[in-house]
């Protein structure tokens, strides 16, 4: 098969690490060869965090980073980062799924740049003939569970053949810290069921 | 013990998904490394994290954080000449700090073996430059191993460690950022039954560890002889490989080849997969000393060879010289433009570069439909609650109101981010610990503008002290602000001399008092009015003044609090 490219992004502290870990382990569990890389230079200081994941046959996976314009699936935990990812990385006909959190960077706060709204994202996706899925949970018990909510919604589709909702749930339970496991599972199921 | 730690030390062979930095630790353990030392710096801190997650009593190797990269190198060297296989690791520019000692090591028999691991940073993802330490390796007379994937990191480390032990020669193991952080499935081997022998076996007959004046030359000759042995090793090393993914048929009557290294080699293979062209690729894992026979054979077998390297023109010049000396007529192609001497060689860039030379294989692609859209940048910034933020806010206000012509000098750390809007504190930045020296120089003959410089607490010990002592000695008209947050924050909260996590706290204020600093004040960075008063007094003080603006790193503070709460909860659950 041609490799399938999953581009994940968010803001430092949002839990892209856990999201990426669940996705890479799920793809592995579904029998794909995987190659990934995280870019997190100054992630803890509110910078952009990106996780690249390429899956397919091992002999067709060469470098871990996704070429701009070649992402089949974009998963983002914040609206501006979703927009940036779509504009730069989405391939024609790709899919983007994002948690609609808003974290304004300093340029927006200081009035130098604009913050995108939902219609900007819809337009960017339409330009690429792609699909857009927005995730938002009104009563999320902890902002650190936005990643879990997105995973729950991903689980309700089978976006990557063989990477089923059951596999994703299993990997999330395997990886999420003991104390938060039950709460995570509730958010996961809620986001999964809330699919439009 | 965590599953991760369990896997790191399990005796039998296993297969697992692993990051380059973590694969390195498994390779160290399988190789029998006994001592590892380091100073934190991206992209390498995850190496330490993978060691530290193993409970100390089960850790097969001794690991420690050193005060700086030079001390870390000396520590590993000392252990090596005692007969113990040792490693030291740090980031690209850390080698500059280590260099005074590191440059000597190849002349001396490192009897236990010594691997110097560096995280170079093409693309300057988290560094102040893109320096290509393949130059430094040549100056240090250290063989250079360059893995391109986590799997290669694992296997090449074991080869490097074995070679280092055999030749008693230090080896430079050059990782790059996206090798350190890439992840793939790796087949690990079993851990042999090592007898860790801590007998200090250091032995010197005469001056073989004393390279001064005339004693240098026999030692240098020995280093050259060892490098010749490495070159010979390169001929059969599995790290140097030829790939012919699409066969080796001539293209329009010419046999084409590429000589490359590390990640760019895989970028070339990805382009060849898309192109389908029949081009051979010589991927060099050992890039110093170049194995001349291997390179000459490859040149002779091809009519045109492109030398693709990331960053500087190093193997390009060496290979061109080899070809000239050997009367080889193969057409040697190389990167034409200075732009190609910067950034990383991802597949897209390789394709674009090759399309200018071999358009029949790499058809020029129209530029991607990148309508310039207005996407706000998101720069890293100091965290909510960060004490540096509070200090910068107050000092910026004071400067604007009372000392508007002040020059501010930044240093390395989270507080480097203060140079950006909205604080704009720190207009000059070089490297770890430069601020006192640079500020001192700016104070010479300067009666009209105040000079304020900054430093963090880990950097204070790392490379800050010599500059501070200089400013004390000359009583420079400089105000130093020490931003003390009780950790090495930027790289992920590693301990340092004043945190009390390693040994007894060496308090910064005690050090400064002992040095005889005449103006010294200390205040919590949240107390902005008091901080401004201290700063005003320091800036009006004739001579060197120091203000310590202290506040714990809030990121660490909150995490520690959560951990403590979880631990208490667990303890209560057990007691119930």
Q: What pLDDT, on the 0 to 100 scale, is given for residue A2?
A: 83
- Give yes or no: residues B211 and B264 share one domain: no
* Contact yes or no for B373 and A124 at CB 8 A: yes
| B456, containing H or E segment | strand B451-456
Is residue B155 domain-shared with residue B78, that is, in the same domain?
A: yes
A44–B381: do the CB atoms touch at under 8 Å? no
Classify residue B365 by burial, with Cβ atoms within 10 Å: 0-12, 13-18, 19+. exposed
Identify the CA nearest to B456 among candidates B483, B476, B436, B438. B483
**In angstroms, rounded to a whole number, what is the distance separating the alpha carbons of residues B272 and B322?**
27
The DSSP line for B64-95 is EE-SSHHHHHHHHHHHHHTT--EEEEEETTHH
CB-CB neighbors (< 8 A) of B20 in chain A: none
Binary contact (A12, B380; C-beta < 8 A): yes
**How many domains does the structure of chain A reveal?**
1
Q: For residue A115, give its domain range.
A: 4-193
How confident is the model at residue B372, as a pLDDT? 55
Below-50 pLDDT ranges, chain A? none
Please report whether residue B371 resides in a domain.
no
Provide the token pair at A133: 């899925």
For residue B178, what is the nearest residue in chain A, using CA coordinates?
A37
Residue among A167, A173, A165, A95 nearest A134 (CA): A95
**B188: β partners:** B14
Strand ranges, E, within B152-253:
171-176, 182-188, 241-243
List per-residue pLDDT tens for chain B, 576 residues long: 789 999 999 999 999 999 999 999 999 999 999 999 999 999 999 999 999 999 999 999 999 999 999 999 999 999 999 999 999 999 999 999 999 999 999 999 999 999 999 999 999 999 999 999 999 999 999 999 999 999 999 999 999 999 999 999 999 999 999 999 999 999 999 999 999 999 999 999 999 999 999 999 999 999 999 999 999 999 999 999 999 999 999 999 999 999 999 999 999 999 999 999 999 999 999 999 999 999 999 999 999 999 999 999 999 999 999 999 999 999 999 999 999 999 999 999 999 999 999 999 999 988 766 555 679 999 888 998 999 999 999 999 999 999 999 999 999 999 999 999 889 999 999 999 999 999 999 999 999 999 999 999 999 999 999 999 999 999 999 999 999 999 999 999 999 999 999 999 999 999 999 999 999 999 999 999 999 999 999 999 999 999 999 999 999 999 999 888 888 876 776 555
User: How many CA atoms within 13 Å lie on the side-chain side of B112?
Assistant: 27
Nearest-CA distance from A155 to chain B in Å?
Answer: 22
One domain, residues B262 and B162: no
Hey, what are B354's tokens? Answer: 């090759």
Cβ <8 Å between A36 and B182: yes
CA-based nearest residue in chain A for residue B378: A105
ipTM: 0.95
- Cα–Cα nearest to A70, from A159, A2, A172: A2
Residues of chain A with C-beta less than 8 angstroms from the C-beta of B556 = none
* Count of domains forming chain B: 3
Whether B410 and B347 share a structural domain: no
The whole-angstrom separation of Cα B114 and Cα B76 is: 7
Q: At what angle do helices B292-300 and B315-325 cross, to 10 degrees?
A: 70
| Chain B residues near residue A88 by CB distance under 8 angstroms | 370, 375
Sort out which chain B residues have CB atoms less than 8 A from A60's CB and list them.
273
Contact B419, B410 (CB under 8 A): yes
Phi, psi of B368 (to 5 degrees): -60, 145
Which of A37, A40, A45 minimises the CB distance to B414? A45
Q: What is the CATH number of the domain that holds A38?
A: 3.40.920.10
- Chain B contacts in chain A segment 28-87 (CB below 8 A): 28, 33-48, 60, 62-65, 67-69, 80-81, 83-84, 87
Which of A53, A54, A46 is CA-nearest to residue A80?
A46
- Are the Cβ atoms of A46 and B378 closer than 8 angstroms? yes
At B504, which CATH number?
3.40.50.970
Which residues are CB-contacts of B441 (< 8 A; sequence separation ≥ 6)?
A: none
Are B376 and A105 in contact (CB < 8 Å)? yes
B210 phi/psi in degrees, rounded to 5? -135, 75
- Contacts of residues A85-92 at CB distance under 8 Å and 24 or more positions apart, as own/partner, are A85/A7, A85/A9, A86/A121, A86/A124, A86/A125, A86/A128, A86/A130, A86/A132, A87/A124, A87/B373, A87/B375, A88/B370, A88/B375, A89/A7, A90/A124, A90/A125, A90/A128, A90/A130, A91/A5, A91/A128, A92/A128, A92/A129, A92/A130
Do B518 and B397 fall within a single domain?
A: yes
Q: Which residues of B fall within a CB distance of 8 Å from A43?
A: 380
Check the CA dihedral B368-B373-B375-B379 and report its sign.
positive
End-of-domain residue from the set B306, B333, B355: B355
Q: How many CB pairs under 8 A join A and B?
A: 123
Q: Which helix (H) or strand (E) holds B509?
A: helix B508-514
Query: Is A1 part of the contact surface with chain B (CB cutoff 8 Å)?
Result: no
Closest C-alpha among A12, A87, A179 to residue B384: A12
Whether a cis peptide bond, with omega within 30° of 0, leads into B515 is no
Tokens of B285: 């894992």
Chain A residues whose beta carbon lies within 8 Å of the beta carbon of residue B346: 63, 65, 67
Judging contacts by C-beta atoms under 8 Å, the chain A residues touching residue B368 are 68-69
What DSSP character marks residue B494?
A: B
Give the whole-angstrom CA distance, residue A104 versus residue A102: 6
Alpha-carbon gap, residue B553 to B563, rounded angstroms? 15
Phi, psi dihedrals of residue B132, rounded to the nearest 5°: -95, 100
* Cβ–Cβ gap B181/A42 under 8 Å: no
Is there a domain that residue B575 lies in? no
Residue B378 forms part of a structural domain: no
Does the residue B382 lie in any domain? no
* DSSP 8-state class, residue B459: H
**CA dihedral over B386, B425, B437, B76, signed as positive or negative:** positive
How far is it, in rounded angstroms, from Cα B220 to Cα B218?
A: 5
Q: Which residues contact B396 (CB under 8 A, 6 or more apart)?
A: B423, B424, B425
CB-based contact B17 A124, cutoff 8 Å = no
Q: Under a CB-based contact definition with an 8 Å cutoff, are residues B289 and B271 in contact?
A: no
- By residue range, what is the domain housing residue B220? 3-195+203-236
Phi, psi values for residue B186, rounded to 5°: -130, 140
The answer to whether the Cβ–Cβ distance between B178 and A39 falls below 8 Å is yes
Residues of A in contact with B383 (CB under 8 A): 44-46
> Could you tell me the CA-to-CA distances from B266 to A184, B120, B154, B270, B429 in Å, in that order?
38, 18, 17, 6, 35
Token pair for residue B345? 């060689």
Residue B558 backbone dihedrals phi, psi, to 5 degrees: -70, -40
């Amino acid at each position: 098969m041609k490799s399938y490219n999953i581009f994940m992004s968010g803001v430092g502290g949002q839990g892209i690490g856990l999201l990426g870990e669940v996705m890479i382990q799920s793809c592995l569990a579904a029998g794909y060869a995987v190659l990934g890389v995280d870019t997190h230079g100054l992630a803890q200081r509110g910078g952009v965090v990106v996780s690249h994941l390429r899956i397919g046959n091992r002999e067709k996976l060469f470098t871990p980073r996704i070429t701009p314009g070649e992402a089949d699936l974009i998963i983002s935990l914040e609206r501006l980062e979703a927009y940036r990812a779509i504009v730069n990385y989405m391939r024609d006909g790709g899919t983007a799924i994002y948690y609609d959190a808003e974290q304004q960077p300093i340029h927006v706060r200081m009035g130098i740049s604009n913050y995108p709204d939902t219609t900007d994202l819809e337009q960017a996706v339409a330009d690429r003939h792609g699909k857009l899925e927005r995730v938002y949970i009104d009563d999320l018990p902890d902002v650190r569970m936005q990643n879990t909510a997105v995973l729950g919604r991903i689980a309700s589709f089978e976006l990557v053949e063989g990477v089923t909702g059951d596999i994703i749930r299993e990997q999330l339970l395997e990886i999420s810290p003991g104390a938060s496991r039950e709460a995570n599972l509730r958010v996961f199921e809620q986001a999964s069921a809330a699919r439009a | 013990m965590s599953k991760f730690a369990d896997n790191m030390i399990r005796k039998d062979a296993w297969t697992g998904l692993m990051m380059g930095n973590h694969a390195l630790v498994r390779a160290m353990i399988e190789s029998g490394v006994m001592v590892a030392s380091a100073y934190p710096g991206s992209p390498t801190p995850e190496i330490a994290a993978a060691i530290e997650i193993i409970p100390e009593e089960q850790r097969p190797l001794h690991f420690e954080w050193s005060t700086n990269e030079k001390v870390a190198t000396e520590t590993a060297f000392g252990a090596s000449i005692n007969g113990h296989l040792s490693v030291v690791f740090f980031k690209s520019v850390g080698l500059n700090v280590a260099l005074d000692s590191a440059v000597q090591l190849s002349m001396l028999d490192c009897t236990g073996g010594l691997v110097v691991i560096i995280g170079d940073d093409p693309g300057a993802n988290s560094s102040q430059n893109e320096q290509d330490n393949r130059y430094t390796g040549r100056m240090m007379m250290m063989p250079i191993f360059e893995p391109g994937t986590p799997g290669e990191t694992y296997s090449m480390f074991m080869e490097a460690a074995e070679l280092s032990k055999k030749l008693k020669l230090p080896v430079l193991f050059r990782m790059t950022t996206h090798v350190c952080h890439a992840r793939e499935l790796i087949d690990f081997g079993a851990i042999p039954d090592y007898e860790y022998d801590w007998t200090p076996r250091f032995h010197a007959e005469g001056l073989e560890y004393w390279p001064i004046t005339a004693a240098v030359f026999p030692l240098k000759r020995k280093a050259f002889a060892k490098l010749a042995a490495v070159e010979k090793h390169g001929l059969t090393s599995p790290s140097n490989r030829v790939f012919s993914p699409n066969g080796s048929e001539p293209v329009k009557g010419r046999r084409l080849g590429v000589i490359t290294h590390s990640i760019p080699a895989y970028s070339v293979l990805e382009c060849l997969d898309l192109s389908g062209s029949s081009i051979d690729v010589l991927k060099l894992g050992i890039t110093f000393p170049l194995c001349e026979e291997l390179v000459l054979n490859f040149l002779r077998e091809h009519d045109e060879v492109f030398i693709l390297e990331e960053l500087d023109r190093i193997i390009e010049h060496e290979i061109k010289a080899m070809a000239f000396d050997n009367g080889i007529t193969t057409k040697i192609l190389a990167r034409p433009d200075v732009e190609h001497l910067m950034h990383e060689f991802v597949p897209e860039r390789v394709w674009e570069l090759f399309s200018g030379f071999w358009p029949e294989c790499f058809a020029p692609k129209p530029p991607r439909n990148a309508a310039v859209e207005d996407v706000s940048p998101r720069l890293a910034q100091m965290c909510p609650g960060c004490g540096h933020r509070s200090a910068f806010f107050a000092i910026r206000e004071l400067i604007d109101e009372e000392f508007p012509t002040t020059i501010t000098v930044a240093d390395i750390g989270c507080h480097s981010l203060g140079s950006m809007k909205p604080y704009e504190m720190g207009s000059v930045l070089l490297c770890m610990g430069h601020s006192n020296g640079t500020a001192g120089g700016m104070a010479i003959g300067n009666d009209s503008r105040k000079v304020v410089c900054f430093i963090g607490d880990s950097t204070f010990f790392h490379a800050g002290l010599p500059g501070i002592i200089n400013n004390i000695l000359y009583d420079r008209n400089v105000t130093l602000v020490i931003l003390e947050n009780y950790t090495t924050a930027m790289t992920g909260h590693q301990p340092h001399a004043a945190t009390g996590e390693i040994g007894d706290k060496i308090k910064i204020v005690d050090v400064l008092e002992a040095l005889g600093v005449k103006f010294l004040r200390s205040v919590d960075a949240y107390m902005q009015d008091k901080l401004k008063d201290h700063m005003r007094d320091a800036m009006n003080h004739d001579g060197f003044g120091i203000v310590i603006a202290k506040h714990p790193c809030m990121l660490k503070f909150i995490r520690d609090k959560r951990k403590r709460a979880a631990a208490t909860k667990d303890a209560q659950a057990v007691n119930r």
